[in-house]
Amino acid sequence: MELSPYLENLQRDLAQAAAPGGAEVTQAATLLAGSLEASARLCLMEALSDAAAEITSKLSSAAVEVRLRGRDADLVVTETVPEQPQPMPAAAPPPTGDGEQARITLRLPEQLKEAVERAAATEGISTNAWLVRAIGIATTRPTAPPPPPPGPGFMPGRRITGFAQA
């Protein structure tokens, strides 16, 4: 996307606004417009970046990025592949009463409690057995490697990558 036409319109509008003030005011407006070009270009880039982030947040299978190419901005749409949910391991039998058992109080948000109850009912086991199995799986798994660096679909806020040339 070429930004120059937008900047030229801004310069023209500023010159037209200064015209009734005479030659000196018009000259001052022309100098001011030239000085503001870099700032206005940066403001346009920031607006494009914010728009791309907002559009990306509304899309479920694509990400929009703003890439700099020389003095111009390119909007790039990248299709993202939705992650497939990992299947839960097969229901293990509830632990036997072989060892000592301890009682704890667990406070859960209501929605999470309902989701746990639904999952346990789907598997035909008690909520307690489901929780014991889930905690057992979580604590016996080897530590997961650190997550990979964010990919092209990752845009929690503004991000500008690349290089600048003066």
- The per-residue pLDDT for range 107-156, each reduced to its tens digit, is 888 888 899 899 989 888 988 888 888 888 888 877 666 666 666 655 55
When the pLDDT of each residue in the chain is averaged and rounded to a whole number, the result is 77
Q: Where are the beta strands (DSSP E) in the chain?
A: 62-69, 72-79
Q: What pLDDT is stored for residue 156 in this prediction? A: 59
Distance CA 77, CA 28 (A): 41
Residues 92-96, mean pLDDT to the nearest whole number = 54
Residue 89's pLDDT band (boundaries 50, 70, 90)?
low
Q: What pLDDT is stored for residue 161 in this prediction? A: 61
Query: pTM of this prediction?
Result: 0.43
What are the sequence ranges of the domains in the chain?
Answer: 4-79, 88-144
Distance CA 65, CA 116 (A): 38
For residue 94, is pLDDT > 70?
no
Q: In degrees, to the nearest 5, what angle opens at C-alpha 156 toward C-alphas 150 and 160?
A: 75
Q: What is the largest CA-CA distance in the chain?
A: 96
